[in-house]
Amino acid sequence: MATESWSSALNHSNDAGFRAWGSELSSKLAAVGLVQTSDSGQINWASVSRAGVNSDAGYEVWRMDDTLQATAPVFIKLLYGTSGLSTTPRLRVQVGTGSDGSGNLTGTRSNTITCSVSTISADTTTLRQSYLCVTEGFVGLALKTDGSASGRAFAGFILCRSSDPDGTPNSDALFICTGATAVGTSAAGANQSLNFVDGVAYTLSNQFPCLIPGAETTSVVGSDLQAHLFFMIKRRVSPVFGVCATYVSEISAGTTFTATLIGSTPRTYLQLARQLGTHWSADSQSLHGLCMLWE
């Protein structure tokens, strides 16, 4: 399990540009420990052509490789394509508990969710930072930060298993948080929980999975900064160990810090600021940034 941080351009103006950003992401997913399945029909990056408007050029199926994969499997289907303009890339994601071997996810599964913005910067040469973390019970991606016209990442998603009270991942459920497709100041992504015990997918879109009480503009208590918890549904509402929110004014984008969200063991997190959207809580949403596990 590992992290990957890299900087490269985002160009979807032709077949070569599409193959470049798509194959780059594919290679990074393998480098951090995800396993590509043997499902038939997966995308061939050496020969694939850029998709037409609002369509997919192909897909890949990946799976987690953590200790819970045998008892609570997580499969991830990524669909690479084109958005509403021929030069605008698109990334969609679906998560399920199985695959039929032909690219269709089975079992308890999420919707297929667009996790990329609908408009991106016309600049195809600027190098843009990307972040990817895969560790026990967790997958987090922020792809091409500042890649949209308003400074959002081009795409991203968070997958995080539920955990015991001490923060150890368990096999009960999976939290899914995807990047916003819009670029407005309160643009929201989609949030779901897959309940492995009941075989139910709970949709939490725009339902504020992060609790930030009050209308404060700072989190400082004495000399400490506060990290605000995200929550998921797994029969009961439960905190999520892999993400939190902090004030961007107190922890800047791209900065790592340690916090103890669940249990007693400090863990390292990366401030993504508003790269995946801002609509995480009902309060002061423009002030907070989403932070993901980074270890």
pLDDT of 79 higher than 80: yes
- pTM reported for the whole predicted model: 0.93
Question: How far apart are the C-alpha atoms of 239 and 100, rounded to whole Å?
Answer: 32
- Residue 271 covered by a domain: no
Helix (H) or strand (E) holding 107: strand 105-109
Please tell me the predicted confidence (pLDDT) of residue 281: 67
What whole-number percentage of the chain has pLDDT above 90? 64
Residue 51 scores a pLDDT above 50: yes
3-class DSSP assignment, residue 50? coil
The per-residue pLDDT for 217 is 78
- Give domain status of residue 294, yes or no: no
Strand order in the sheet with 236-247: 228-234, 236-247, 288-293, 267-271, 256-259
How high is the pLDDT of residue 185? Answer: 47
Question: Does residue 249 sit within a domain?
Answer: no
Domain count, the chain: 1
pLDDT of residue 235: 72
Is a pLDDT exceeding 80 seen at residue 149? Answer: no
Whether the predicted pLDDT of 61 surpasses 80: yes
The answer to whether 291 and 245 have CB atoms below 8 angstroms apart is yes
In this structure, is residue 86 part of a structural domain? yes
Q: Residue range 205-224: average pLDDT?
A: 75
Is the residue at 69 inside a domain? yes
Asked whether residue 230 is assigned to any structural domain, the reply reads: no
Residue 188's pLDDT is 55
Please give the pLDDT value at position 189.
61
Judge whether 43 lies within some domain. yes
Distance CA 98, CA 105 (A): 6
% of the chain beyond a pLDDT of 70: 91
Tell me what the pLDDT averaged over the chain comes to: 89
Whether 81 is covered by a domain: the verdict is: yes
Write the CA distances from 269 to 25, 237, 260, 289, integer angstroms: 21, 22, 10, 12
- Nearest alpha carbon to residue 148 among 106, 173, 113, 181: 181
Measured CA to CA, the distance from residue 112 to residue 105 in angstroms comes to: 10
Average pLDDT over residues 51-70: 97
Report the alpha-carbon distance of residue 4 to residue 143 in Å, rounded. 11
pLDDT band at 17; cut points 50, 70, 90? very high
- Find where tokens 């959207």 sit: 277
The residue segments making up the domain with residue 96 are 2-207
- According to the model, what pLDDT value does residue 221 have? 85
